[in-house]
Amino acid sequence: MFSLFIENFRISITSVLANKMRSLLTALGVVIGILAVTLMGTLISGLDHSFEKSMEFLGKDVLYIRKYEWFGDKEWWEMRNRPNIKIKHANSILERSQYAKYVAPVSEWYTSVKRDANEISGVRVTGTTGAYAMISTAEIEKGRFFSSSENRSGSRVAIIGKDIADNLFENENAIGERIRIGNYTFRVIGEIEKQGKFLGMFSLDKQVIIPIGTHQRLFTRRGWTGINVRVDENNIDNATEEITALMRQFRHVRPTEDDNFALNRQDPFKQQYSMIKLAIGGTGFFITVLSLVVGGIGIANIMFVTVKERTREIGTRKALGATPKMILMQFLMESITICLFGGLLGLGLAWGGSFIINQYFPSEMPIDLALTALGLSMFVGIISGLAPSYKAAKLDPIDALRYE
Amino acid sequence: MSLISLKNIYKIYNVGGEEVRALDGVNVNIQENEYLAIMGPSGSGKSTLMNMIGCLDTPTSGLYEFEGEMVNEMDDNQLASIRNRKIGFVFQTFNLLPKATAQHNVEIPLIYGNVRRDQRKNLATEALESVGLGDRMHHKPNELSGGQRQRVAIARALVNKPSIILADEPTGNLDSKSGQEIMEIFDSLYQTGNTIILVTHEDDVAKHAHRTIRLLDGKVKEDIYVAA
């Protein structure tokens, strides 16, 4: 049986190579199908990777009290009229909430950062307190975070992100050096580890962190303020409810009125993301199924032609002792070979494509998906080869031998 | 016991509502090491009888016994097996696989007979040498002359050491010199103990045989033995 398998494989290869152009065109549907499914898989794996990193940055147990909702159907102009978030409420939450573990007020403003002639513009300047270090997942790589006395006294000290360190200091040690944030001179006291991009949109490393008091005085007039709360991770829902109630109380929201602030979490990101993922996956799946079906029909068609062309050969083989099953296997194998060839070509192209995707965000071609894709192309080969092969197997040897 | 025994063989086709008796009560016995020619004009049932003997076809009624096996009761798989083991076919148009070498062509019956690879090689070489093509083993059909192609086909028919060699107009597509060479090969195969059945309409070919069966309208019209 094994020599028959080898023989069938030999016949298939010979036949595919003898009609190179025809095989290629026939396999094109499968090529596109496999390309689509693999590239989609690569894309999703890359998205997953980058999304998880971004979600890590937000933290699953952190509530972001903001003026604006991150998601939802509220109109922006309605939210614009809400009162600003006040820094003093950070302390009140810490005092009154039983679920809040760390609370840090945050102010943000964007400006340029300079050192001598080097300048980076559009740097995120975050003003906060020492609690920020306990809420953020990013670690201090060198130096330290500012102390509470530095915070209270409004010292001009800064912790810089990796982009700032790399661009302004290159190989030098930044700790203790001076930089200009906007028009003010600050002393660098710490450096944060590399965090990468948030959802591939903006760099988390292009930031400096300074005491909130300093921030208030120098920048906050123009920026916005919010409060980050790290809560007990086993009671996130309870904490959300409790802190919403506290905020309503602090801001004197009447029971009949809606919240005039937002409690943002990473969860809606996840929901949004799974919808995007579903959309990509759905599109990829649709393209794959469509091209595999069309490709399969093409292969069935060309296999019928092949069987017709080789009717005499089939007759001869039958006369020489091939059973119907052996003939069936021969043509099935040929159909599978065309599909596998298409599948491998598609995988090759996808492999190349995954390098291009990798340029934009880190991803890799999932091996299990590649194997599934190959299995899928074999399956297409079997399905579309079945009818033509059966026809070949059932040919009457006498008619086949007489066929001109 | 006869090698082949055909008893009361009928083959009836229904062509457009009309009954056509391709074989109309044929009785033939063939012994081992016979050299037989089947002759007859076209439409005489000559091809049908050949297909019947070659186990490519089964009769509508009648008994066909091949070395004690009842062919008329066999299914497609059993027919394939008996063709593979016991019958060597030689066709008018050679029917070689164009992309395979002479050696590979000869190996095909062995592949279907599930013979091991190394053994296959030896048997194929042996068969090709026996028809004088030991030096053409790795040539493809389009690199061989018509006579050489037919010799490859004979080697392919021989390779499984079949009980009969069944040749359908083996010289029909050859010039007279090549045809003569092919007939000489059949003669020598007969002399080494093979059973040979020729289907032909040429008297020149048939005269090599020692027995001639003439068919007309699906019936055996004459069955003559010629002394060797």
Instruction: List, for residues B55-98, the tens digit of each pLDDT value.
Output: 999 899 999 999 989 999 999 999 999 999 999 999 999 999 99
Interface test with A, best of B47, B50, B53, B83 (most A CBs within 10 A): B83
**Interface contacts (A, B; CB < 8 Å):** 68
Segments making up each domain of chain A, as ranges: 2-53+271-402, 61-265
In a domain, B156, yes or no: yes
DSSP characters over A253-314 = --TTSPPSSEEE-SHHHHHHHHHHHHHHHHHHHHHHHHHHHHHHHHHHHHHHHHHHHTHHHH
pLDDT at A182 over 60: yes
CB–CB of A5/A325 below 8 Å? no
Name the least confident of A80-89, A130-139, A360-369.
A360-369
Name the least confident of A190-199, B53-62, B145-154.
A190-199
B98-151 confidence digits (pLDDT tens): 989 999 999 999 999 999 989 999 999 999 999 999 999 999 999 999 999 999
In a domain, B12, yes or no: no
- Which phi and psi (to 5°) does residue B3 adopt? -70, -50
Amino acid, res. A64:
Y
Q: What is the spatial distance between Cα B193 and Cα A213, in angstroms, rounded to a whole number?
A: 114
CB–CB of B57/A404 below 8 Å? no
Work out how many domains chain B is built from and give that number.
1
The whole-number pLDDT of residue A105 equals 92
Residues of A with CB under 8 A from a CB of B: 1, 3-4, 7, 14, 18, 312-313, 315-326, 397-398, 401
What band does A224 get if pLDDT is binned at 50, 70 and 90? confident
Average pLDDT over residues A92-100: 90
Name the B residues in 53-72 with CB < 8 Å from any A CB: 54, 56-57
Longest dimension (CA), chain B: 54
Amino acid, res. A32:
I
Tell if the CB–CB gap between B80 and A313 is shorter than 8 Å: no
pLDDT at A222 over 60: yes
The minimum CA-CA distance between B49 and chain A, rounded to whole Å, is 12
**In which domain, by residue range, is B174 found?**
33-55+79-225
What band does A1 get if pLDDT is binned at 50, 70 and 90? low
The minimum CA-CA distance between A15 and chain B, rounded to whole Å, is 9
The minimum CA-CA distance between A316 and chain B, rounded to whole Å, is 6
Q: What is the spatial distance between Cα B120 and Cα A338, in angstroms, rounded to a whole number?
A: 29
In a domain, B144, yes or no: yes
> Which residues have a Cβ under 8 Å from the Cβ of A150 and sit 6 or more positions away?
A157, A211
pLDDT, mean over chain A: 88
pLDDT at A156 over 80: yes
In a domain, B176, yes or no: yes
In a domain, B118, yes or no: yes
pLDDT at B221 over 60: yes
In a domain, B64, yes or no: no
Q: Is B34 at the interface with chain A, CB within 8 A?
A: no
Smallest Cβ–Cβ distance between B111 and the set A3, A313, A401 belongs to A3
CB–CB of A327/A314 below 8 Å? yes
pLDDT at A10 over 90: no
pLDDT at A11 over 80: yes
Smallest Cβ–Cβ distance between A320 and the set B51, B77, B109 belongs to B109
Q: Which of B96, B165, B95, B98 is nearest to B130 (CA)?
A: B165
The minimum CA-CA distance between A385 and chain B, rounded to whole Å, is 22
Average pLDDT over residues A85-104: 90
In a domain, B23, yes or no: no
Interface test with B, best of A316, A318, A395, A398 (most B CBs within 10 A): A316
The minimum CA-CA distance between B153 and chain A, rounded to whole Å, is 11
pLDDT at A202 over 80: no
Task: Quote the radius of gyration of chain B (alpha carbons, Å).
Answer: 17
CATH, residue B85: 3.40.50.300
Q: What is the spatial distance between Cα A304 and Cα A357, in angstroms, rounded to a whole number?
A: 39
What band does A404 get if pLDDT is binned at 50, 70 and 90? confident
Q: Is B138 at the interface with chain A, CB within 8 A?
A: no
In a domain, B3, yes or no: no
Name the B residues in 146-185 with CB < 8 Å from any A CB: 156, 160
A54-73 confidence digits (pLDDT tens): 888 888 889 999 988 888 77
What band does A117 get if pLDDT is binned at 50, 70 and 90? confident
Cβ contacts of A306 on chain B, cutoff 8 Å: none
Cβ contacts of B120 on chain A, cutoff 8 Å: 3
CB–CB of B131/B143 below 8 Å? no
Tell if the CB–CB gap between A3 and B120 is shorter than 8 Å: yes
Cβ contacts of B156 on chain A, cutoff 8 Å: 320
List, in sequence order, the alpha helices (H) in chain B: 46-53, 76-86, 102-112, 117-130, 146-158, 176-191, 203-206
Q: What is the spatial distance between Cα A32 and Cα B45, in angstroms, rounded to a whole number?
A: 54
Q: Is B10 at the interface with chain A, CB within 8 A?
A: no
Interface test with A, best of B58, B76, B169 (most A CBs within 10 A): B76
Tell if the CB–CB gap between B108 and A326 is shorter than 8 Å: no
User: Element (H or E) spanning A120, and its range?
Assistant: strand A118-128
The whole-number pLDDT of residue A8 equals 87
pLDDT, mean over chain B: 93
Q: Which of A16, A320, A395, A19 is nearest to B95 (CA)?
A: A320
Cβ contacts of A398 on chain B, cutoff 8 Å: 51, 56-57
Q: What is the spatial distance between Cα B159 and Cα B6, in angstroms, rounded to a whole number?
A: 26
Smallest Cβ–Cβ distance between B89 and the set A7, A312, A320 belongs to A320
Q: What is the spatial distance between Cα A371 and Cα A347, in angstroms, rounded to a whole number?
A: 10
Cβ contacts of A318 on chain B, cutoff 8 Å: 56, 80, 83
pLDDT at A231 over 80: yes
pLDDT at A199 over 80: no
What band does A381 get if pLDDT is binned at 50, 70 and 90? very high
The whole-number pLDDT of residue A220 equals 65
* Other CB atoms within 10 A of residue B104 CB: 19
Cβ contacts of A397 on chain B, cutoff 8 Å: 56
Q: What is the spatial distance between Cα B38 and Cα A357, in angstroms, rounded to a whole number?
A: 73
Smallest Cβ–Cβ distance between A322 and the set B56, B80, B95 belongs to B80
A306-337 confidence digits (pLDDT tens): 999 999 999 999 999 999 999 999 999 999 99
Longest dimension (CA), chain A: 104
Cα dihedral across residues A289, A295, A301, A302: positive or negative: negative
Smallest Cβ–Cβ distance between A324 and the set B76, B116, B160 belongs to B76
The torsion region of residue B123 among left (phi > 0), alpha (psi -120 to 50) and beta comes to: alpha
Cβ contacts of B91 on chain A, cutoff 8 Å: 316, 319, 401
The whole-number pLDDT of residue A161 equals 92
A254-286 confidence digits (pLDDT tens): 988 888 899 898 888 888 888 988 998 898 889
Of A3 and A334, the structure prediction assigns the larger pLDDT to: A334
